[in-house]
Amino acid sequence: MCPVLVRIDPDRLEVEALKEAASWRTWRVLDVGCGDGRLSQRLAGLGALVTGIDPARDCLREARECLPKRLAARVRYRVGDAQKLAFPNQSFDGVVFSWSL
């Protein structure tokens, strides 16, 4: 169970803005600095296959714990550094820096 002490964007305006930017369905998306995975979950909810990276293991642990089962197949989290991405060239349709640039 995830303690909800901070809830960002309860009106989901961020999601609405993201919907306007792309279709997202079946897209492979990299969420750089995913933190607790809030945006990764929302992108997965739009149909994207999301890889969330963050240098903080604690955040990723929280993100994995808070990931709903229905999205588990669409989201994966990895420890990673934005300046040295461990992914092959041309492997994502979208890269998102949310509060992380």
Partner 1 sequence: MVHALREAWRVLKPDGILIDLRPAIRHCRVGVLRSGRFEELGAAREEFDGSRAANRAVARILARKIFRQTRRKVFACDVVFGSPGALREWIGAFAADQGSCALERLIQRADAARRRSRSECRLAARVTLAMKVFVKVEAPGVRRSPRTKDLAYRPPRRSSPAPATARTR
CB 78 within 8 A of CB 55: no
For the sheet containing 49-54, what is the strand order?
28-32, 49-54, 75-79
Residues between 11 and 40 with contacts to partner 1, criterion CB under 8 A: 11, 13-14, 17-18, 20-22, 30, 32
Q: Which is nearer to partner 1, 19 or 72 (CB)?
A: 19
List own/partner pairs for 60-64 with CB under 8 A and 24 or more apart.
60/34, 62/2, 62/36, 62/37, 63/34, 63/35, 63/36, 63/37, 64/37
| CB 5 to partner 1: min, Å | 4
By CB under 8 A, the count of residues binding partner 1 is 38
* Minimum gap (Å) between residue 59 Cβ and partner 1: 12
CB atoms under 10 Å from CB of 53, counted, come to 22
The nearest distance, CB 67 to partner 1, in angstroms, is 20
Stretch that binds partner 1, among 59-67, 68-76, 78-86 (CB under 8 A): 78-86
The contact set with partner 1 (CB under 8 A) reads: 3-11, 13-14, 17-18, 20-22, 30, 32, 82-101
